[in-house]
Structure 1
Amino acid sequence: MLRTIAFTLALTAATPLFAQTPPPPPPAEAKMQALPYVTAAGMSDLYEINSSQIALEKSQNPDVRKFAQMLIDHHQKTTAATVKAAQKAGLTPPPPALGGATASITELQTASTPDFDRLYLGQQLPAHQAALDLHQSYAKEGDKAPLKATARTAIPIIKKHIAAVTKLQAGKSSDHAGHASM
């Protein structure tokens, strides 16, 4: 019994638990007002790009690396589209900033290699769900037509990302259960 407890404690100490800190959700006004929307969309895209660049450096899983590259490519395009739409709407968009997503990036930068994929994928699902909510809400209730159109075009891209991360997480679960990997 004591051996079991000692083994469990040693195993727990060897594999630290991380919070999987996703970026904070956008403020409510970002769902209806142009400038807060552009700022929130920029933060979301920048987080996705930066977190995925870290994944390309740290992940050993080719499927995670492929997913990360897809996110970089897609979110660079959505950022460019949002900036262009903001300018068309008469706004001068601020450069994207991480804001509250800095803690999420730091968590990924400091993660050990064995923990990285779990942390990265664990952040991606809530981050993309928040982004989906932001773009769907702005597409429906936003105050600037060019940005509403851009928000609508982002929705299927984000849904594709949610499906991909969900599939990757399911694959990671089956890997740990001893089933065939993806």
Structure 2
Amino acid sequence: MSALRTPPPGTAAASSSTTSQPASASTLAATSPFGPAPTTTASASTGVPYPGTSPGMPVRLGAGRGRVVVRDAVHALEGLNIMGLCKRMFVLLAALAVTMVGGAGAATAAVQPSEQDNSWIVAAHQANLAEIATGKMAQDKGTSAVVKDLGERFVTDHTKLDDSLKTLAGDLNVTLPNEPNAEQKAVAQKLSDTAAGADFDKMWIQQQLAGHAKVMTATQQEIDKGEAAQVKQAAEQALPIIKAHHEALMKAAPNFGVQPSQ
């Protein structure tokens, strides 16, 4: 067995002294990898940064002082976050209010018909009433199959057009008359006074050509100069039907001794 080695004199005493005596603050500051701790402090109530520090630097203070610094920093950040959120919410709410008001104004403006729109709605409605009345008259008094067939077709088509037009007028608060205009009523009266036969058929073709030509012109004007989108759309949907009627009348006119230009 090897002999026990005796430590040199004074070694045990030095070790004992080292382990039993705590290091001083100056000794710890000197040996710290962060260097000496700052010596100035800030008020715990204001949260003002401590001199010698910058964002991201560890705070090397005593345990109690470190907790105060952390608390003040958290409070300051919370205050900034709350203010920032309040500002962002105010901006968002203001933008939303402007958008809602602007959208409501645009929707209101979109449904307001102009004088041109109102005039076309009323004129188209009265033309429909006149075509329905004279179309029924053609079925009753016409002697030509062409006149009877055209009369039936006009009644069907203009009834559908007028149903849509009445719905549109209701949506836009446009008041519609209950009868054709004075000129249209005079034409209907003239046809009513004419006896059934060739004279009636010829007069009917002539009056229908003139009436559809006027309606085509008025409808094209609405498409070109109207302002309310829904009224312009109604005119665009009606125009092909009116043109088809006019073309059928132009084709039939020579058979009744009527010049197409009439």
User: TM-score normalised by the shorter chain: which range applies?
Assistant: 0.7 to 0.9
Bigger relative CO (Cα 8 Å, ≥ 6 apart)? 1
Q: Contact 1:138–1:151 at 8 Å: present in 2 too? A: yes
CA deviation vs aligned residue, 1:122-165 (integer Å, no higher than 9, x gap)? 10111001000111110121122111100001111011001111
Distance 1:93 1:72 in 2: 23
Selected match of 1:93 from 153, 165, 175: 175
Pair 1:74 & 2:157 matched: yes
Q: Secondary structure, in 3 states, of the residue corresponding to 1:94?
A: coil
Pair 1:158 & 2:242 matched: yes
Pair 1:149 & 2:233 matched: yes
Per the TM alignment, residue 71 of structure 1 is displaced from its structure 2 partner at its CA by 0.2
Distance 1:72 1:161 in 2: 11
Aligned partner of 1:15 in structure 2 is: none
> Quick one: percent identity of the two aligned structures?
24
Aligned partner of 2:142 in structure 1 is: 59
Q: Contact 2:202–2:257 at 8 Å: present in 1 too? A: no
Aligned partner of 2:203 in structure 1 is: 119
Q: Contact 1:32–1:138 at 8 Å: present in 2 too? A: no
Tell me the amino acid that sits aligned with residue 131 of structure 2: E
Distance 1:130 1:42 in 2: 13
Cα RMSD for the two superposed structures: 1.8
Selected match of 2:186 from 98, 103, 107: 103
Structure 1's unaligned 5+ residue stretches are 1-30, 175-182
Aligned partner of 1:10 in structure 2 is: none
Pair 1:47 & 2:136 matched: no
Per the TM alignment, residue 99 of structure 1 is displaced from its structure 2 partner at its CA by 1.8
Tell me the amino acid that sits aligned with residue 131 of structure 1: V
**TM-score, normalised to structure 1's length?**
0.73
Q: Contact 1:132–1:155 at 8 Å: present in 2 too? A: yes
Q: Contact 1:53–1:68 at 8 Å: present in 2 too? A: yes
Structure 2's unaligned 5+ residue stretches are 1-113
Distance 1:167 1:96 in 2: 32
Distance 1:139 1:32 in 2: 14
Distance 2:195 2:247 in 1: 26
Q: Secondary structure, in 3 states, of the residue corresponding to 2:118?
A: helix
Q: Contact 1:32–1:143 at 8 Å: present in 2 too? A: no
Per the TM alignment, residue 48 of structure 1 is displaced from its structure 2 partner at its CA by 0.5
**TM-score, normalised to structure 2's length?**
0.52
Tell me the amino acid that sits aligned with residue 168 of structure 1: A
CA deviation vs aligned residue, 1:104-123 (integer Å, no higher than 9, x gap)? 00001000223100110010
Per the TM alignment, residue 32 of structure 1 is displaced from its structure 2 partner at its CA by 5.7
Q: Contact 2:142–2:196 at 8 Å: present in 1 too? A: yes
Distance 2:239 2:178 in 1: 19
Distance 1:35 1:91 in 2: 10
* Aligned positions, number: 143
